[in-house]
Structure 1
Amino acid sequence: MDRKEFLKSLGLSSAALMAVYCLGTVTSCSPAEENPTPGTPPPNTGTPTGGGTTTGGKIDFSLDLSAAANAPLQTKGGFLYVDSIIVARSNSGDFVALSKSCTHAGTTIKFVPGSNNFNCENHGSNFNLDGSVINGPAGTSLKKYSTTFTVATNTLRVFE
């Protein structure tokens, strides 16, 4: 092989490598999905009782903690979802109700008993029991709802 043939073979190889490199770069620059689909929430969905409402207007519903569907709230660290709200029982035994959608990308959050806070598994945002942001990327607090527990009837009311 003489010098001309050698350089010619290098040129073709370089061109082939550049084509593969450029093709990979172009396809990897496609826009990222800005609004990922929220994950499927865990199956423990509470059952509102007492004629309350969770849709339209103001939130106002009650949960009978004696009902099997609401059993997660009978123990500290338990939580469940009622429509657009996550209701949790903190490690101290207090009840907390927040909007269940992360303010960053809308993913359903979950209660983490070990850290006694709320977490979005999609991008890692964490929220305090009052809904305030511990760390982002979320920059806005979760909406917090008032709760009242009536011992005599074992009923938890969630309202605005």
Structure 2
Amino acid sequence: MNTIEEKMNRLTFLKQLGLTGASLMAVYCGVTMTSCTNEGDIAGPLPTGGITFDLSTTANAALRTKGGYVVDRTNNIVVAYTNVGTYVAVTLICSHEGQKKITYATDKFYCTEHGATFDNSGKGTNSNGSGGLKTYTVTQSGTILTVS
């Protein structure tokens, strides 16, 4: 069994390797923190033909109510039904730091990680949202929405 004196924390270990200053911060941040990332580098293209959402299913019931939204984590998109009765879709990945934390409320998209906000066109509405969100085209045919 190790005593307290025998245990070594990560910072002490890295310092003993000779990593100090900027190199220590680079190693530490690269291992434990999320770096700022351009959302365009993460959000891949949607499948050919787009993604469909059947409004008649229970899974997509929120899209039948103005202000409602659905998160598709498989394809990293958020689809919302605006208060003016149109459908909009954006990437789930926030442009501020690449977090997959976009939600929808009160006719705007919102990142729960750092408070970035975006309008229905994906344009940032505060400093954390200045990078905007990737948007997609939404078409409707009967009860089927297609996001492409």
Give 2:78's match in structure 1, choosing from 78, 83, 86: 86
Question: Taking structure 1 as reference, are residues 35 and 138 closer, same or farther at Cα in structure 2, changes over 3 Å only?
Answer: farther
Alignment of 1:1-160 (within 5 A): 34-35=33-34, 58=48, 60-82=50-72, 83=74, 84-107=76-99, 108-113=101-106, 116-151=107-142, 154-159=143-148
Question: Taking structure 1 as reference, are residues 120 and 62 closer, same or farther at Cα in structure 2, changes over 3 Å only?
Answer: same
CA contact (8 A) 2:118 2:129 kept: no
CA contact (8 A) 2:139 2:147 kept: yes
* TM-score in terms of structure 1 length: 0.61
Letter in 2 for 1:77: G
Separation (CA, whole Å) in 1 of partners of 2:102 and 2:57? 24
Q: Which has the higher strand share?
A: 1
Letter in 2 for 1:35: T
RMSD: 2.3
CA contact (8 A) 1:101 1:109 kept: yes
Separation (CA, whole Å) in 1 of partners of 2:49 and 2:33? 29
CA contact (8 A) 1:85 1:97 kept: yes
* Matched length: 109
Where do 5+ consecutive residues of structure 1 fail to align? 1-29, 37-53
Separation (CA, whole Å) in 1 of partners of 2:48 and 2:84? 28
- Identity, in percent, stands at 32
Where do 5+ consecutive residues of structure 2 fail to align? 1-24, 36-43
Separation (CA, whole Å) in 2 of partners of 1:56 and 1:95? 17
Letter in 1 for 2:105: V
* Residues 68-101 of structure 1, C-alpha deviations (whole Å, 9 max, x = no match): 1111101101101112000000011100000011
User: What secondary structure is seen at the aligned counterpart in 2 of 1:72?
Assistant: helix
Write out the 4+ residue segments of structure 1 that deviate beyond 4 Å after TM superposition: 30-34, 54-59
Structure of greater Rg: 1
CA contact (8 A) 2:123 2:130 kept: no
Separation (CA, whole Å) in 2 of partners of 1:124 and 1:136? 9
